[in-house]
Amino acid sequence: MKQIPGGITAPQGWQAAAVAAQIKPSGKPDLTLIYSPTPAVAAGVYTRNLVRAYSVDYDQAITQKQQPVHAIVINSGNANAATGTRGMEAVHETAGLFSSLLQIQPDQVLTASTGVIGVPLPMEKIAQAAPSLVTALSATGSDQAAEAIMTTDLVAKTLALETDLDGVTIRLGGIAKGSGMIHPDMATLLGFITCDAAVEVNLWQTLLQEVTALTFNQITVDGDTSTNDLVLALSNGQAGNALICDPDSPEAAILKQMLTEVCLDLAKKIARDGEGATKLLEVQVSGATTDQDARKVARTIAGSDLFKCALFGCDPNWGRIAAAAGRAGVAFDPAHLAVWMGDIQLMAHGEPLTFDRAAAAAYLKGDPVLVRLDLGPALGQGSAWGCDLTYDYVRINGEYTT
Amino acid sequence: MKQIPGGITAPQGWQAAAVAAQIKPSGKPDLTLIYSPTPAVAAGVYTRNLVRAYSVDYDQAITQKQQPVHAIVINSGNANAATGTRGMEAVHETAGLFSSLLQIQPDQVLTASTGVIGVPLPMEKIAQAAPSLVTALSATGSDQAAEAIMTTDLVAKTLALETDLDGVTIRLGGIAKGSGMIHPDMATLLGFITCDAAVEVNLWQTLLQEVTALTFNQITVDGDTSTNDLVLALSNGQAGNALICDPDSPEAAILKQMLTEVCLDLAKKIARDGEGATKLLEVQVSGATTDQDARKVARTIAGSDLFKCALFGCDPNWGRIAAAAGRAGVAFDPAHLAVWMGDIQLMAHGEPLTFDRAAAAAYLKGDPVLVRLDLGPALGQGSAWGCDLTYDYVRINGEYTT
């Protein structure tokens, strides 16, 4: 796998653009279009929050029908959530507007939103900006898109890869935004993946779900999930490879590896850019009964407020790690537990070791920080990613802004 | 129910005392004894954390055997957890020591610990302090005990009630310590209830479990559970009432009400005294399919870092409340959702209302703060309690103290 520039416009046949539609009070770009003139197979994973924006329901209905799509329209600055029937109308109006301009069907346009909740989406601003957005579409528009989907993210998040598949070059790119937050919004995770491989739609959906379980679903900033979270993956077949249908084929394995590398990179970037975060935390768990158990333990530790504060304070507090593992809802024998921070082992066979606290504290000053746990002799393993809990998290989320 | 002074020594036949055994570096009282010369029925509820102190296993074995007990020995300043076989020996030595001094059987002594994890319990200090602790036992010793079980709790937590039961006065008292934390400990919840009613041991255990589910298990400070959490309830029958056996009797109902009032009061005091907290949060949920569902939603909201930061910032951020409800893992129709802060309604039928933000913000400056949700037409209801997430929480838990 070779990293290449170009993000979501690196794969063949993909264009993107962004404009400032004045939805964000800052006047920064806030309306983004991702487009392939060739129809693409579409897969999606969606927030499990019961209270969700209509755009999530809308996209899910389309990807479940397995219809090919051409475009994704994303606005930042307004989540278009909890706005009742007006929210539903706004999604259909947006899809209708862009389908007219792009001369495609309305249900070939997916939509996503992030920003303030409970405020109607200013459709007149979107209508006014739409023609110039379509005109601006470009095969080098990925960076514009990656910037425009941000809310209070500090850095744009993007990666593209290319590889050889039976003599054909295939490319896969992604952009994402994460845990920046604007009042009174929840942290929203949006991820957009483009690809030029020819892939069967069921397989594409399966790959996205499997990869999301190991990447985007294994990051935590504060345990809160959003009304608007989604990851959409589109592949338009422009690479010219033979259609990938068989999940057990080497080609499917390569495609999955590409998707995993891009999603993992974006997920880690989101965790590192968590609100107020000063460092990325990676938790690796081995020796669990199943991989799922291992992931659950890793996620519980990465989500422990107590340990996240200790991480901020560079305090090698293994007791909090052991206790978080113990409450993860996963069966293991505490007498087998071993814990490391980096290469420093703090616990073996469920008992604390004498260790160099100063060296451990110095290790925790670095970024990223790796915590490893071994739960026992079984073979289940998994990882999760998070960040530290800092004064700035409280400040960002506690500021009185009404 | 009449509130009376005296805490755990208010019920007849109960004595308590505390001394400074120099386990705490501060030199404050850290060794506590609760004692009834008459044997008492004992019930317990214990941490579900897999990684737990041996004292928890030890007490659970005794209460499961339903043997009468006479005493509880509690040390603060050292959790005696993750100390391997030495931890197990320390519990048996402590029970043996006090059983000799009190001339009772070792398995008539329960033990509890809270404090630093992974450091062997200094048994020589406990042995040295034990005789003077037994000598100090007094029928007015409850306040001493309530103080001595504290770690970094800011206030002692205690309540006693008395009521008439078929012409007999029965009394029930409790002390608890909560979410204070000392490095490198987890927040530990310890609760001790004494009573002088004659009650059958199975019924007593059932009552404690039912009441704990509605009180101590419905408070959250940061979602982390401790290796040492437990609530022990002992009743010695000294009131002279007819033995309460029938769970459906009016007498059992009165006893349950007493236990509920004391546990609820102690639980709220623990939440209010959460690390760094500036206010108590009460979340009331109605309209859920079951009471259990309602409690789950209430607990998820009370535990949402995002909402807890908004509460600290006095920001009437109903979006975070709705989103936390949505991810609680409980089925409800978001189109029915209604939300209030105090008397101010922010959401009805799943859509935001226009409300006086200044008045809502002013309401949030108070203490306690009440948030109410109605999920729909069903009858399930429940409450949870928590506190705000503040700079001080991060400071207390992030301080580098090695």
What is the distance of C-alpha A369 from the center of its chain? 20
The answer to whether residues B180 and B397 touch, using CB atoms and an 8 Å cutoff, is no
Question: Which pLDDT score is estimated for A13?
Answer: 98
The reported pLDDT for the residue numbered A294 is 97
Residues A38-47: tens digit of each pLDDT = 999 999 999 8
- In contact, A228 and A81? CB cutoff 8 Å: yes
CA dist B30 and A393 (Å) reads 35
Is residue A376 scored above 60 in pLDDT? Answer: yes
Alpha-carbon distance B48 to nearest alpha carbon in chain A (angstroms): 7
Residue range B19-23: mean pLDDT, rounded: 97
3-class secondary-structure state, position A105: coil
Closest CA to A19 of A140, A175, A145, A162: A145
Residue-level pLDDT at B301: 94
Nearest CA to B300 out of B273, B278, B322 is that of B322
Residues B291, B12: Cα–Cα separation, whole Å: 36
Q: Give the pLDDT confidence score for residue A74 in this predicted structure.
A: 98
Of A224, A309, A323, the CB nearest to B227: A323
Closest-CA residue of chain A to B118: A352
pLDDT at position B317 = 83
Chain A segment 364-393 residues within 8 A of B by beta carbon are 389-391, 393
Q: Measured between alpha carbons, how far is A31 from A130 in angstroms, rounded to an integer?
A: 8
Contact A394 B351 (CB under 8 A): no
Q: Residue A140 pLDDT more than 70?
A: yes
What is the mean predicted confidence (pLDDT) over A234-251? 97
Active site residue A188: yes
Mutate to test the interface with B, among A57, A183, A317 (most CBs of B within 10 A): A317
> Of A32, A188, A194, A212, which residue is the catalytic one?
A188
Question: Is A325 within 8 Å of B118 when comparing Cβ atoms?
Answer: no
> pLDDT tens for residues B215-235?
998 987 766 667 888 999 999
Q: Number of A to B CB contacts under 8 A, please give it.
A: 215
B310 touches chain A (CB under 8 A): yes
The chain-wide mean pLDDT, for chain B, equals: 92
SS percent in chain B: helix, strand, coil, step 5? 35, 30, 35
Q: What pLDDT is stored for residue A401 in this prediction?
A: 47
Which position has the token pair 């909402």? B307
B-contacting residues in A 25-54 (Cβ below 8 Å): 48-52
A224/B319 Cβ within 8 A: no
- Which single residue is written with the structure tokens 């703090």? A346
Q: What is residue B44's predicted lDDT score, i.e. its pLDDT? A: 96
A223-232 per-position pLDDT tens digit: 666 788 899 9
Which SS3 state, helix, strand or coil, does residue A127 take? helix
- Rounded mean pLDDT of B379-395? 91
Q: What are the two backbone dihedrals, phi and then psi, of residue B161, each rounded to the nearest 5 degrees?
A: -130, 155
* B182 has a pLDDT exceeding 50: no
Residue B368: asked if its preceding bond is cis (omega within 30°), the reply is: yes
The interface predicted TM-score (ipTM) is 0.78
Look at residue A227 in the predicted model and tell me its pLDDT: 80
Q: Is A107 exposed, middle or buried (0-12, 13-18, 19+ CB in 10 A)?
A: middle
Q: How far apart are CA A379 and CA A293, in angstroms?
A: 11
Q: Helix (H, G, I), strand (E, B), or coil: what is residue B101?
A: helix
Average pLDDT over residues B366-387: 96
Q: What residues of B are in contact with residue A224 (Cβ under 8 Å)?
A: 304-306, 320, 323-324, 327
> Stretch A318-344: mean pLDDT, rounded?
92
Count of CB atoms within 10 A of residue B267's CB? 26
Which string of DSSP letters, residue by residue, matches A184-213? TPPP--EEEEEE---B-HHHHHHHHHHHHH
* pLDDT value of residue B187: 61
Q: Identify the CA nearest to A282 among candidates A294, A271, A273, A296.
A: A271
- C-alpha B184/C-alpha B388 separation (Å) is 22
The minimum CA-CA distance between B42 and chain A, rounded to whole Å, is 26
A40 forms beta bridges with A69
From B239, B253, B238, B160, select the one nearest B206 (Cα to Cα).
B253
Give residue for tokens 């744009």.
Answer: A156
Rounded to whole angstroms, the Cα distance separating B244 from A76 reads: 63
| Least confident range of A150-159, A258-267, B126-135 | A150-159
Amino acid at B25: P
Residue A317 touches partner B, C-beta closer than 8 Å: yes
Report the pLDDT value the prediction gives residue A33, as an integer from 0 to 100: 98
Q: Of the candidates B224, B315, B332, which has its C-beta nearest A401's C-beta?
A: B315
